[in-house]
Structures are given as structure tokens and as C-alpha cells.
Structure 1
Amino acid sequence: MASRFLILCVSSLFFFFLTVSSAPTSGYYKGDKVFDVRNYGAHGDGKTDDAMAITKAWNDACQWSGGSSTVYIPLGTFYLSQITLSGPCKSYITFIITGTLSAPRDPNLIKQEEWIEFRYVDNLTVTGGGLLDGQGSYSWSLNDCDKNPKCRTLAINIGFAFVRYSRINGLRSINSKMGHFNLFSVEDFNITGVTITAPGDSPNTDGIKIGKSKDMHIYNVTIATGDDCIAILDGTTNLDISNVRCGPGHGISVGSLGRYKDEKNVEGLTVRNSVFNGTTDGLRIKTYAKSVSEISVSNFVYDNIQMVNVGNPIVIDQQYCPHGQCDSPGKYNSHVQIRNVKYNKIWGTSTSQAALNMQCSKTFPCQDVELSNINLMYNGRDGLATALCENVGGSVRGKIVPSGCRI
């Protein structure tokens, strides 16, 4: 009896330790092979270029075949001139940043589109609560993209291209030279707990830019920047956005679309349970008036969005034509078809009188646009909020303020 009891105790103890050893902790699993960048010569003194050391640690972790691997960047300031971390990797890989990664002040030292770039990786997790400092204030004066269509391209803080089944959790990004996060051709990708910060007057510092990607979730993020909080470009499908705190910035924008011949449709966007505070725009769809591609924007849902002193809370602009590219206002009609877009429970305050402004294409009028439970108040003293709807077909349900949109 005693021997049987002893065997049972030993078996239970073995099962307990087996369970504990496989429990997730801090975003990775105990027993993973950890590749500490300090073991590869990284200094973390904020002066020495640690790009080579981090690249070596990544390459070893990526090719580790004994199980999952973790690249670990500890506390400290790690200066990086630029870095590209490529796959494919042999197993799940985690990139933990607990310290600060600092970019060069001189934009000429970065020769690629993104300062930090991940490419061709599956099952990647970037986490740790660390900071990406783009040192953008030293180069913002060089950015004249608001006036010059051939403006100089500056580096984005971090980019992900051809990355699948992956996530970013708890990362912080400040003062990018241009955008903060750039996602191109990613699939099944989650972004959560991210904080993005740049001054409201910093040019073209988009928070999260997405193109030709699918099956993405963005939730519980805070974005305060000088351009779009989230910019959604062509070819993006099945994107779910929730619990976003946006402002300052230019809101959540789809487009601009229609400028290039090879563009793809944008389909399946949900934005819900979010707050826009002090942004120039709220929910915006913009397409080139002088478009060269015939694509569609469809199956959108905007639900439960609060606007706090937002310049243009709801905007569809199919007469978008920056830099004077249209020789005559109103001469061109966009060829981008917008259909099946639902706005429900959008409420708060507008700093412009036209709180609801939908100017769709005469050639391809908007179809199946649904407005329900809209309550937007103008906080100026020269009248009430107004609504402008042109070439819009659809339906209206519930109380709509401002009224006057006949669709």
C-alpha cells in the first residue's frame, strides 16, 4: 500500500513539473532557447551600433531547430543604424524588447524603407513593452509631402512584410521619421496593447499603415500622431479594429484609393468601440477624383464610435485630388465603387459645421450606405451641425443628427 502511494505521489509530482514547465510566461515559454543579444556583442550604451549583434542573434534563433526560440533585448538603449530580420525560421520565434531601440538622428544613415524590418517570417511574436525611438524630430523639417508629390521618403519605424500567423503585443513607438508601423502582405496578424506617439504637427507620421493584407485584428491601442492613426490601403481584406484611442491625428482612413492601375479591392472592415479625440477627421474614406483603376470598397461596419471635438467626424470624399493634380475642381469622377457601408451609434462633437459629409462619385454612386443612431453636435456658435450627402444611395434608421441626408 505504501509503495503504491509513493508511486502515485511521484507520478503526480512529475505531472505537476511537466505542466509548470510548459506554462506561458511573459509572452514566451519556459524551456525556449533564449538568444540574449549581449552574448553577441550588443552594448546597449546608446552609442555603439548594435545592429550586427542583434542580426546575429536573430539568425541563430531563426535557424534553431530544437524548439521555439526567443531573441532577448534587455533594459538599456540599443542604437541601431538599420536592421532587416528575415526568415523563414524553423519554428515559432519571439522577439522580446524590454529596453529602448534608438534610431540614427541623421535620416541619410537609413537606406531602406523601414528602420527595423521583419520579412518572410511565420509564427512571430514581438513583445516586451520596450520602446522604439525613431528620433524623427531631427528630420521632420525635411518633409514637404503636403506640398510636393515627389517628396523625399523618410524611414518608417518598423515594418512587417510577408509575415503570417503573428502578433505584436505591448510595444511602444515614438517620434518616427515618417510612419510608425508598416504592414504589407501580412496574414492572420494581431496588434494589441500598442502605444504610438508623435506630436500632432509632425508630418506624415501615420500610426499603423496596412496594405494588401488580410485577416488582421487591431485592438486596445493608443495612437497620438501627426497623420492617420490607422491608414488602410488597397488590397486589405477582413480587418477588425476595436478599442482604439485616436488623437491627435487624422483619424482612421481608407485610402486614398484609385490612383494606380494595379490596385486591389478593400473589403471587410469593422471599426467599433473606439474614441476619437481632437482629430482632424474621424471615419474617412477617400478616393482619387482622377482615378485610373476601377476597384471597390465594400462591407464596412462602423459601430459605437465617440467623437470628441473632431474636425470631420464622418467623411466620404470621392473628389480627393491633392497637390493640384486635377486641373478643374469637379471635372473628374472617381471610378472607385463604394457599397454596403454601415454607420451605427456614431456620437459626440464636431468642430466643423458639416459633421456628416458624404460626397460620392457621380459615375459610381455609393450604394447601400446605412445610417442609424447618429448624434453629432457642432460645438461652434454660428449654427447647428449640418449634413451633406451627394450621390449616396441607401437607408436611414433611427434618430439622425444632423438630419437632412436623403439617401
Structure 2
Amino acid sequence: MALVFGSCVANGEYLGGGRELTGNPTVFDITHFGAVGDGRTNTFKAFLKAWIQVCASPVPATLLVPRGNFLAGPIIFAGPCKSHVTVNVQGTISATTSGFATPEWILFERVDNVHLTGPGTIHGRGEAVWATDGCGKKFKCNLPPTSLKFRNIVNLEVSGISSVNAKAFHMFLVKTVNVNIHNIKIIAPAESPNTDGIHLSNADNVKILDSFIGTGDDCVSVGRGSNNVTVERVICGPGHGLSVGSLGKYPNEEDVSGIHFRNCTMRNTDNGLRIKSWGGSSPSKAIDIHFEDIIMENVKNPIIIDQCHVWLNLPGLTG
């Protein structure tokens, strides 16, 4: 006899800590693991407990964040997992504003075949720390955490979510292959420091489609070792534009190739289309880069190719 704890829903799945009996995907609701959506109670332990069940499931499983405002410190979704996993954010996940123990707030690592979906919100609460912890153009600084980081992942989909007021980068892809990001919103004020929308490093076969990105730094920045990247039907603004780079910061950087920006709209941005490298940078190639059918409205610097990105060539800054 098997005991199943949780609430039965219409499609035969179960919400909670027990496993379903039919072999269909299982849904694990974080509130069944102690999460309280009051915006004040730190729920990171509930995320961890739910994730352990999702990752161990032999059939595709879902971690559900229902409606409510769930405060959480650093969250690590680590694999490998036994099957396809989904994180479905219906409500809001809000970051704590102090005690930054890790360089990222929400980390997905070594999890293949993962889908992060909305329509909920990832709220970094960066407005609480930008004045004191944001790097801006400071000579030395400690960059606050990235809101969403994906590292060492094959087959990633991100859709339907909103990322609001990240402390630093909104989304960072590193050593990640086969990525489909679509129908998302990234929002932060124009004056928010280092709040890149989506930054890529050693990321291959990436599509960023049908999305709105308005932030205080690059809307999309394609960094070292990234190949076969398509950015299409993205509205950018405010922000620093659509960028390749900064490149050449590190010795022996991998080449960048096959970068396509198509049918994008730039509104009220500092820059439009930009390729940038550090002054005195190490040798590497940036080839096969295409900008096509780009609309620019009230853009200060429509096209920039900068091989001496001087003010960022300082200790502690990422560019």
C-alpha cells in the first residue's frame, strides 16, 4: 500500500510531498514543505526540501511556487536529476537584501532538461542595495549577486517569467548548451548599476526571442566562448543596448562566433549595437556577427565598435 499526501488536482497530479500513483508528472508545492508566502518568512529551506523530491523523481516532476510572495535567501537547484524538471513560478520569489554569501541568488547547476516558467516574478530587490553595493563606475567594489544563474546545463528553457530589480545581472548563462529563452520580461530602472539583462559566457546554441528587456546596463551581452546565439524580436530599453563583449579580459579566451541580432527594437537606450573589448586584451576572435532589421528610437550612440573599453578596465569591474 502506498500513502500519498497532498491535494489532488483535476489532471490527476498531486501537490505536496507524496508521489503520485499513476506515473504522470508529480507536482511538489513548496507550501507543503513549509513555505509561507507572506513576504517576510525566509523560505529557502522549503525550496531545498521540494527540490530534493523533484530532482529524485524518476518521472518528469515540477516544483511549484504558488501565488504569494515568498522571501528566500540563496537557492541552489543542483543536479544531476533523474528526469526532466520544471520550476513553475506562479507567485513572486523575493530576495533577501543582506548577507550575500554567494555570487548568485538563484543557481541552477548540472541540471539537464530543465524548464523555468511563469507567469510569476523573480524580484531581486536591488533597489535596497544599489546605492551602497552597486558597482557603477567605482574603482573597487563587490558585485552583488546575480538573480538567476545557469551553469553546466544542457537543454534549458526559460519562459513566461519576469525578473525585476536584480541586484546585479538579471540572468547569467555559463557553460550552458541548447537554450531557449522566450516571452520573458526583465525590468530595472535606467540608473540601476550593472543590471545586465542576459549575459552569456561559454554558452552555445542560445535563442533569446520575443521578450522585453529594460534595465540599467546591456540588455543582452554575449561574452567569451559563446557560439550560435540568436536574439530576435527583443525590445530593449532603457539600457546600454545589445552587445558583444566585453571580450579579452582573461588570457586565452575562447572565440565568439555565429551571433545574430534580428528584428529587435531599441528605445531610449544609451547605445544601440555594440562590440566591445578591453584595452590591452588577450587575442581571440569575434567572427560571423550579424545585426539585421534593427529599429532604433531615441538612441544616443546607434553603433559602437570599441576596442579600448577604458573605464571598465579596472580592478573589480566585470564590464
> TM > 0.5 between the two?
yes
- Amino acid in structure 2 at the alignment position of 1:305: I
- Amino acid in structure 1 at the alignment position of 2:29: D
Q: 1:297 aligns to what?
A: 286
Q: 1:104 aligns to what?
A: 96
Q: 2:144 aligns to what?
A: 154
8 Å Cα contact 1:143-1:203 kept in structure 2: no
- 3-state secondary structure, aligned to 1:185: strand
How far does residue 289 in structure 1 lie from its aligned partner after superposition?
A: 2.5
8 Å Cα contact 1:148-1:323 kept in structure 2: no
8 Å Cα contact 1:290-1:321 kept in structure 2: no
- 3-state secondary structure, aligned to 2:45: helix
Q: 2:15 aligns to what?
A: none
- Give ranges in structure 2 of 5+ residues lacking alignment: 1-10, 13-22, 315-319
Instruction: Provide, for residues 320-366 of structure 1, a one-character-per-residue CA deviation record: whole Å limited to 9, x for no partner.
Output: 222676xxxxxxxxxxxxxxxxxxxxxxxxxxxxxxxxxxxxxxxxx
Instruction: Provide, for residues 11-56 of structure 1, a one-character-per-residue CA deviation record: whole Å limited to 9, x for no partner.
Output: xxxxxxxxxx89xxxxxxx931111111111111111111001111
> CA separation of 1:144/1:61 partners in 2, compared to 1, >3 Å: closer, same or farther?
closer
Q: 2:110 aligns to what?
A: 120
What pairs with 1:348-387 in structure 2 (closer than 5 Å)?
A: none
How far does residue 148 in structure 1 lie from its aligned partner after superposition?
A: 2.8
How far does residue 161 in structure 1 lie from its aligned partner after superposition?
A: 0.5
Q: Of 57, 71, 74, which aligns to 1:64? A: 57
8 Å Cα contact 2:278-2:310 kept in structure 1: yes
Q: 1:343 aligns to what?
A: none
Distance 2:217 2:185 in 1: 15
> CA separation of 1:288/1:91 partners in 2, compared to 1, >3 Å: closer, same or farther?
same
> CA separation of 1:105/1:324 partners in 2, compared to 1, >3 Å: closer, same or farther?
closer
Q: 2:213 aligns to what?
A: 223
Is 1:281 matched up with 2:271? yes
8 Å Cα contact 2:134-2:167 kept in structure 1: no
What pairs with 1:17-96 in structure 2 (closer than 5 Å)?
A: 31-65=24-58, 67-96=59-88
Percent of aligned pairs sharing the same letter: 38
- Give ranges in structure 1 of 5+ residues lacking alignment: 1-20, 23-29, 326-407
Distance 1:190 1:324 in 2: 32
Distance 1:324 1:83 in 2: 31
Q: Of 196, 213, 223, which aligns to 2:186? A: 196
Distance 1:226 1:317 in 2: 19
Q: 1:317 aligns to what?
A: 306
Q: Of 282, 285, 308, which aligns to 2:297? A: 308
Distance 2:207 2:259 in 1: 10
| TM-score, with length taken from structure 2 | 0.89
Q: 2:5 aligns to what?
A: none
Q: 1:168 aligns to what?
A: 158
Q: How many residues align?
A: 294
8 Å Cα contact 1:251-1:279 kept in structure 2: yes
Q: Of 249, 256, 259, which aligns to 2:246? A: 256
Rg bigger for which structure?
1
> CA separation of 1:260/1:32 partners in 2, compared to 1, >3 Å: closer, same or farther?
same
- Amino acid in structure 2 at the alignment position of 1:319: C
8 Å Cα contact 1:98-1:129 kept in structure 2: yes
Distance 2:304 2:107 in 1: 33
Distance 1:233 1:316 in 2: 15
RMSD: 1.6
8 Å Cα contact 1:146-1:323 kept in structure 2: no
Distance 1:269 1:324 in 2: 24
- 3-state secondary structure, aligned to 1:319: coil
